Structure 1
Amino acid sequence: MRLRILIFFTLFFCKSILFSQTTIPNPTKNDFSETLNILASDSMEGRKPNTRGGNLTASYISSKMHSYKLKEYNNFEYCFQIFEIRQHTVKKTALEIKRKNYRTISLSPEKDFEVTPTENSIQKKQAEVVFASYGLSLPKEDYDDYKNVDIKNKIVVVLKGFPNDKDSTSATYKKFKNIFPEENDLEETKLKTAINKGAIALLIVEKENFKPENKENEVFHSLENSKSEAIPVFRISKKTAESLFSKTDIPLKNNLASTLSQKVKINFSIELKHDMLDAANVLGMIPGKDTTKTIIVGAHYDHLGIKNDSIYHGADDNASGTSGMLALAKNWSESKIKPQYNILFAAWTAEEMGLLGSEYFAQNLNLKNQKILLCINMDMISRSAPEDKAHRILSIGTQKETEYLKKIASESNAKLQNPFTLDLWETNGHSGSDYASFTAKGIPILTFFSGFHEDYHTPRDIASKVDLDKMQDVLFIVNNSLLKFIENQKN
């Protein structure tokens, strides 16, 4: 009798281990490479929302979800969650530099600068200019570019990047890179700081080779999210800045904050046109045993579209995450195993416009009737940063209060034959990708990112440059983390 009981529990235990580790196959290159190539192809035209390419992409993802027999979420027809976006595009803009005893210099939006506007037109304004080094105020790090600098009702000029950002081996670089693992976070922090300190506009001095893309000077908002507190952001090259300002006005060759003399003023104006666009998230679900609880596996499928007759293919950003999400959906569906909870596979749109797709979804969640246990986000999972020579660094972001998710991800990574060097960072206060739409709602997240590269947001981000082996290993961690999370929830 004892022997029978021992055999029974041994078989039960083995079955449990088998379920948690092998019943849902980890995606292989065959599961996602073809999809990635299609998403990043010329025919998808850069996948910008409300364009031919963007609509074609949404239809393609919908067809894949239906072929995997995913269920429509909330009865959205063809898996589409459709919403409206406000588009504000620059019709006409002007930027003039005025220095005492010098002639006024008018900059050209075609050659010298570009502007990210607010949602409202701005008639001609004149304001004094203040230089604030890199435009960062970080009291906890004992670093403040705004110390003794008053920018209220002025235009603040800041340098792109952060101190020592050209030396990836320096302690300063590592310190700031740890604070700002995503470039979008760095820019967002500079903008928010300038707004909070009362600036009326932000002027960012970019690199020497910066070229304005004046055809795409636009800003977007969902109908449910108006960012009326924003200020316009102008961008000029370092070379242009050096020709406009004296070295005493802007010490471009050092990191010291310095106020400009009141001799320098800027005039600017922005005239906008306004349009309404339709956009669609694509959502497919595997119903769980407990239908009141849901885990989201998501990635944004949009990119930048066509600019100046060049297609921005966005193979890494974010055909990689989207094809990875679809590969996971395929394997989970084909396993025929009913998960413990609903698993919602989500392709977000309009991330590049300001996380609008995921934000719309999160704002319309009925959290009283549906509990979201976890949101997994994959954004750029197939390339490596230049300093990652071995292509074995992976960033995984979680909230400070969810240490157990770091442990799950680390244990999953350890199962790889060649584990990654993990950059485990805390997303608190950051908003660089769609995970931020869910952290704002108090929903636990795991966000995966494999590194910024020199082709980021350029037409050179093409399918032939992705690292399929790295992506396969990232998806191994995602899948195993998902399985482990479900197992822990049951226990």
Structure 2
Amino acid sequence: MKKLLFSAVFLSAVCIVNSNAQVAPKETGLQAITIDAIKGQLEFLSSDWMEGRATGEKGAYLAADYIASMFRVFGAAPAGDAASFGGRMPRMALRTGPGGPSFTPSKTYFQNFTLIESQPAGGSNLSIKKAGQEYTFDEGIDFSVSRATMDTRFDALMVFVGYGLVDKANGIDDFAGVDVNGKVIVRLTGFPGYADTTSPMYKKLIGDNMRAQFEMSRKKSESVNDKGILGIIDLTINNDIGKRWGVYKFDNNMAPAESGPRTNWSSMRLDGKEISSNPVTITITERVSNLIIKEGGLDIARYEKDAAAGTLKFKPVAIQGMNAAFAVNVNSRRVNVRNVIAVIEGENPNEYVAAGAHMDHMGMDNGKIWNGADDNASGTVAVMTIAKAFAASGVKPKRSIIFCTWTGEEKGLYGSEYFTIYPSVGKISDYKFYLNFDMIARDAMNDTAKNMAGITYTKAYPRLEEITKSNVEQYKLNLKLNIRSQEAPTGGSDYTAFTENKIPVIAWMAAMHSDYHQPSDEVSLVNWNKMLDIIKLGYLQLWEAANGEIK
């Protein structure tokens, strides 16, 4: 009897061991993605201790240190800059291989670089000239300066370009048929129908899609690039915009609850390898706007009405005989910033796939903290957790996997752009795929089932959609996906730089919501189950990209 009992226990133990041994590496990694794992990371990364993670600020450096520590704990190796002794001599690591021992520079988790921070210096002026008459206006009285990256002086003809929008999909090109190179453009704020939510063009361009308004703003910004435009004048219609620029004559230190909008937001730029061609943008008061409208013979009311109705065949208007002269002064300094880069080395160390998310957010101001739980601590946690899962799988992927958390996204997608110019690992031409996470933890207003999310992928790689759908079904993930393909996906997140380098992408986003870029974007509002399933699916997508073929 004892012998039979021993045999039964032994056989049971063998079965358990064999059962565990049969779990595939991919599934082992998937099991490492848990609610507790993402909660622990997100609750800390979006806490007040991180001070809003503004680019270049103390909170961003604290966040970067935390992320690097988690990569080390999870088993992803450092893949940033070479370590050094006092910044002079590189630290070397001993490696053994078929050719014997060798020394190679040790890596850190940090890719350090600088951004140029610029703020208006005061004393800028604008002159409007026509028929021998000149009107001169001062900064802070009749106009404000934005998007100025260096001191600028010019005098140029003016062209009215409507809303200054290019949206070919909706038949809009406000620059068609006119040469704006070397000129100042004059434009209206908003887009066709923006002031009337019942208008045909508002319904066509926006409808009930909150995200579409932000996309329209991005398209306006992109529409002025690479056209040789010297300056942009944004008109003000029926709005006392000057009250934003007032100052108190006494020390009026308001309580945080009473304080107004941000006062400390500064623009930054990445030097790159060429002088920036981005035009200076100024916003003028209504009285200066009316001067340009009157002297330029512009019928703004009729234009806005026809544009909202969708009946307008707009052609840009060169304002004959009218020039604008800018003298813009800015204060600039170089600010130290850093990305965090880690790697799980593959069997082929010279082929790469990457996953990334921006870790920066909006910082602090007026006694408030923009903690950015969804934007984009959620995406950052996805990247860290997927690194954990790949390490837990216990096998080397075929291609090396680079895990990236970017800085400078809120300033202009600069962290990812810098990496694609100066990759800390390999050559950018050796990158075969990029997976991006941005805002993956919230629900849209119409998401009553709390399971909606969107992905955009490179159209030439249809297998990416097949991989996505099959994994949702196979692993019973509770996700209702809006899957879109684009020839060259670009937008307001870090996949743009990879698309511009001809690298196929998948870009994740769950929802746009009213807490976007507000101090109210807090961890208490997170949909944990949706976030968990998105991270699981992201891991499965990346597994296929790292180990199989995606085209």
Q: What range describes the TM-score normalised by the shorter chain of this pair? A: 0.7 to 0.9
Could you say which residue in structure 1 is the equivalent of 2:66? 60
**Does 1:396 pair with 2:450?**
no
Change (3 A) 1:432 1:403: same
Decide which moves more: 103-112 or 64-73: 103-112
Residue 475 of structure 1 aligns to a residue whose secondary structure is helix
1:202 paired residue among 232, 236, 246: 232
Could you say which residue in structure 1 is the equivalent of 2:508? 448
The answer to whether the 8 A contact 2:389-2:539 is kept is: no
Q: Tell me the CA shift for residue 318 of structure 1.
A: 0.8
Could you say which residue in structure 2 is the equivalent of 1:316? 374
Residue 65 of structure 1 aligns to a residue whose secondary structure is helix
Residue 280 of structure 1 aligns to a residue whose secondary structure is strand
Q: Tell me the CA shift for residue 313 of structure 1.
A: 1.7
Residue 398 of structure 1 aligns to a residue whose secondary structure is strand
Percent identical pairs in the alignment equals 24
Could you say which residue in structure 2 is the equivalent of 1:6? none
Could you say which residue in structure 2 is the equivalent of 1:4? none
1:17-96 correspondence to structure 2 within 5 Å: 18-21=24-27, 23-25=29-31, 27-73=33-79, 75=82, 77-92=107-122, 94=124
Change (3 A) 1:139 1:176: same
Q: Tell me the CA shift for residue 377 of structure 1.
A: 0.9
Letter paired with 1:409: T
2:267 paired residue among 218, 228, 231: 218
Q: How does the TM-score come out when normalised to structure 1? A: 0.81
Separation (CA, whole Å) in 1 of partners of 2:79 and 2:420: 14
**Does 1:248 pair with 2:299?**
yes
Residue 457 of structure 1 aligns to a residue whose secondary structure is coil
Aligned length: 476
Residue 302 of structure 1 aligns to a residue whose secondary structure is coil
Change (3 A) 1:269 1:410: farther
The answer to whether the 8 A contact 2:434-2:498 is kept is: yes
**Does 1:406 pair with 2:465?**
yes
Q: Tell me the CA shift for residue 195 of structure 1.
A: 4.7
Separation (CA, whole Å) in 2 of partners of 1:209 and 1:480: 52
1:307-330 deviation digits (Å, cap 9, x = unpaired)? 344322222111110011112222
The answer to whether the 8 A contact 1:87-1:276 is kept is: yes
Residue 36 of structure 1 aligns to a residue whose secondary structure is helix
1:41-440 correspondence to structure 2 within 5 Å: 41-73=47-79, 75=82, 77-92=107-122, 94=124, 109=140, 113=144, 115-117=146-148, 119-123=149-153, 129-138=158-167, 141-147=170-176, 151=180, 153-161=183-191, 163=193, 173=203, 186-204=216-234, 213=262, 215-222=264-271, 224-235=272-283, 248-249=299-300, 251-255=303-307, 256=312, 257=314, 259=317, 268-365=326-423, 371-414=430-473, 415-426=475-486, 428=488, 430-440=490-500
Q: How does the TM-score come out when normalised to structure 2? A: 0.73
Letter paired with 1:202: I
Residue 216 of structure 1 aligns to a residue whose secondary structure is coil
Rg larger in structure: 2
Q: Tell me the CA shift for residue 473 of structure 1.
A: 2.1
Change (3 A) 1:236 1:423: farther
Q: Tell me the CA shift for residue 140 of structure 1.
A: 6.1
Separation (CA, whole Å) in 2 of partners of 1:219 and 1:15: 52
Decide which moves more: 176-185 or 74-83: 176-185
Change (3 A) 1:100 1:440: closer
Change (3 A) 1:131 1:347: same
1:462-481 correspondence to structure 2 within 5 Å: 462-481=522-541
The answer to whether the 8 A contact 2:111-2:341 is kept is: yes
1:391-444 deviation digits (Å, cap 9, x = unpaired)? 443221222211111221232334445331313132616242111222222222
Change (3 A) 1:17 1:439: farther
Decide which moves more: 89-98 or 323-332: 89-98
1:448-491 deviation digits (Å, cap 9, x = unpaired)? 11232222222222222222222122112212212333453399
Give unmatched runs, 5+ long, in structure 2: 1-17, 84-106, 246-261
Separation (CA, whole Å) in 1 of partners of 2:177 and 2:429: 50
